[in-house]
């Protein structure tokens, strides 16, 4: 029962909120409380999983192996808690600065339902269903603001991601064709029997689907238009929470289900990862608006996750999880602080910029250092040097953005911007402090990522 709660709470709350006018104060507060309750349920579950190992439940009272299984393990729960945290931050930000459409809080909760479902299902097809629930909420959220521009970027987002979903569906169907199973553990066990090439095509399709979600180099074309077109809170949700599906999906499908294919495909992961880093950084340097710099920087940052996956092994996966955590926090902080005005807003943006650049003692340093460590251990000097170049480039573009935003004088005659409400600034400052905290006291984040990566070793 415990395991269903993190999915059920936001779902029920979302339905209730859909009937209310989200622009008012009370529904907004209710949505925040519901998300906090979801996080509490997920944390409670994580504590249980930590003590007694993964929790499983077969839905609908079917026999195990017949019904759809929900399975909570450390990897899934880490990503669930991370994404819920990002959603909570974005929702609180929007509620404090004034919600614009009545459906916003309900949509965020439906998104939370889909995300926790994706991270806690043990069934490949059910993964697709939750994935679609998340994406439908995300399509509508992207059009939030209801400007012509936002509507168009939402339509682009929907079209590209629907294509990705179709690829994913075909990938799942071909896995089913080869193995005759849909539960992840079963597929993993049967895939071992065949030559790795037998499911290479399925693996490729699934890789494309998640790459589209993450915005990795050749599949990135939708990303800048969407991230620059939407409002800051939605951009934070998309890059901090929805993109987690991509990194989690790659970890789950290639770490657990198709490990042999990951080994075969490692050069592809590596090349695409490096291409993403270089392409994203160079594009980000050449852009003028902060929005666009952040969008291209996301393309660059996800490249690091691919590299960690390509190196593989428990340490590689731990580095990937750690980087995904740090990257989510960074992106949430930067997108939320981008339009912030008034006292401390420059400080907050600088913390985010330092974190993306990977300067100690801010959190981003931790992610880059973890990756650096495993690359050095592998003695792969090409990767090591490219990580350094990538970090240096990210330092350049983040500070170009910072300079333009905070050091350039406002054009004369333009209205002086009113400072943002102090509650909003306090919220974003709290995220900034959290980012510094991750860097100064890295043990918790390291421990979490190691626990999450150990999931793969402990599988039946």
**H helices within 121-222, ranges in order?**
124-142, 148-179, 184-191, 200-214
Q: Nearest approach, Cβ of 273 to other proteins (angstroms)?
A: 27
In angstroms, rounded to a whole number, what is the distance separating the alpha carbons of residues 349 and 291?
A: 13
The only residue of 4, 163, 275, 434 in contact with other proteins, by rule CB under 8 A: 163
> Restricting to residues 169-208, which ones interact with other proteins according to CB under 8 A?
169-170, 173-174, 176-177, 180, 182
Piece in contact with other proteins (CB under 8 A), picked from 133-141, 187-195, 266-274, 312-320: 133-141
SS3 123: strand
Q: Nearest approach, Cβ of 304 to other proteins (angstroms)?
A: 31
CA 424 to chain centroid: 23
**What is the residue-wise DSSP string for 221-260?**
TTHHHHHHHS-HHHHHHIIIIIHHHHHHHHIIIIIII-HH
In angstroms, rounded to a whole number, what is the distance separating the alpha carbons of residues 68 and 57?
A: 9
| Nearest CB to other proteins, comparing residues 159 and 458 | 159
Q: Nearest approach, Cβ of 293 to other proteins (angstroms)?
A: 17
Piece in contact with other proteins (CB under 8 A), picked from 29-37, 52-60, 158-166, 254-262: 158-166
Total number of residues binding other proteins (CB under 8 A)?
Answer: 34
155: contact with other proteins by CB under 8 A:
yes
Which residues does residue 183 pair with via DSSP β-bridges, in sequence order?
123
Piece in contact with other proteins (CB under 8 A), picked from 24-32, 265-273, 407-415, 416-424: 407-415
CB neighbours of 135 closer than 8 A, spacing ≥ 6? 114, 161, 165, 242
288: contact with other proteins by CB under 8 A:
no
Q: Is 65 left (phi over 0), alpha (psi -120 to 50) or beta?
A: left
Cα-Cα-Cα-Cα torsion 299, 375, 204, 250, nearest 10 degrees, comes to -70
125: contact with other proteins by CB under 8 A:
yes
> Restricting to residues 411-430, which ones interact with other proteins according to CB under 8 A?
411-414
| Nearest CB to other proteins, comparing residues 160 and 311 | 160
Piece in contact with other proteins (CB under 8 A), picked from 155-163, 333-341, 435-443, 452-460: 155-163
| Nearest CB to other proteins, comparing residues 181 and 331 | 181
8 A C-beta contact, residue 199 and residue 264: no
Q: Nearest approach, Cβ of 148 to other proteins (angstroms)?
A: 4
Dig out the tokens for 209 from the structure: 């689907």
Site for other proteins, rule CB under 8 A: 125, 129, 132, 136, 139-140, 143, 146-149, 151-152, 154-155, 158-159, 162-163, 165-167, 169-170, 173-174, 176-177, 180, 182, 411-414
């Amino acid at each position: 029962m415990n395991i269903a709660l993190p999915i059920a709470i936001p779902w029920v709350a979302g339905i209730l909120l859909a009937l209310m006018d989200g622009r008012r104060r009370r529904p907004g507060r209710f949505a925040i409380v519901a998300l906090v309750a979801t996080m509490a349920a997920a944390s409670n579950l994580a504590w249980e999983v930590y003590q007694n190992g993964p929790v499983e439940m077969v839905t609908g009272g079917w026999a195990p192996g017949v019904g759809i299984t929900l399975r909570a393990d450390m990897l899934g729960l880490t990503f669930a808690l991370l994404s819920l945290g990002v959603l909570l931050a974005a929702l609180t930000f929007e509620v404090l600065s004034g919600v614009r459409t009545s459906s916003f809080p309900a949509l965020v909760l439906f998104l939370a339902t889909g995300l926790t479902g994706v991270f806690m299902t043990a069934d490949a097809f059910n993964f697709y269903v939750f994935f679609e629930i998340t994406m439908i909420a995300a399509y509508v959220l992207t059009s939030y603001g209801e400007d012509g521009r936002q509507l168009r970027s939402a339509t682009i987002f929907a079209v590209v991601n629907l294509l990705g979903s179709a690829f994913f569906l075909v990938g799942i169907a071909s896995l089913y064709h080869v193995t005759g199973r849909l539960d992840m553990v079963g597929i993993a066990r049967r895939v071992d029997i065949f030559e790795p090439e037998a499911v290479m095509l399925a693996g490729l399709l699934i890789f494309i689907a998640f790459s589209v979600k993450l915005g990795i180099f050749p599949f990135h074309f939708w990303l800048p238009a969407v991230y620059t077109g939407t409002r800051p809170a939605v951009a934070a949700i998309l890059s901090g929470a929805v993109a987690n599906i991509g990194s989690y999906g790659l970890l789950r499908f290639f770490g657990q289900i198709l490990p042999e294919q990951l080994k075969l495909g490692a050069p592809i992961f590596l090349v695409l990862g490096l291409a993403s880093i270089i392409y994203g950084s160079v594009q980000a340097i050449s852009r003028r608006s902060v929005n666009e710099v952040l969008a291209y920087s996301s393309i660059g940052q996800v490249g690091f996750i691919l590299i960690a996956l390509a190196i593989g092994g428990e340490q590689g996966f731990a580095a990937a999880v750690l980087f995904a955590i740090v990257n989510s926090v960074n992106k949430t902080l930067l997108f939320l602080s981008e339009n912030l005005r008034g006292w401390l807003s420059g400080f907050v943006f600088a913390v985010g910029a330092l974190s993306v650049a990977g300067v100690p003692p801010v959190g981003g340093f931790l992610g880059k250092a973890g990756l650096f460590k495993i690359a050095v251990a592998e003695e792969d000097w090409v990767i090591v040097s490219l990580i350094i170049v990538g970090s240096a480039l990210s330092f350049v573009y983040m500070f170009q953005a910072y300079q333009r935003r905070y050091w350039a004088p406002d054009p004369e005659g333009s209205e002086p911007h009113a400072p943002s409400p102090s509650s909003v600034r306090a919220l974003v400052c709290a995220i900034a402090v959290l980012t510094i905290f991750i860097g100064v006291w890295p043990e918790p984040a390291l421990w979490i990522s190691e626990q999450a990566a150990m999931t793969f070793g402990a599988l039946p």
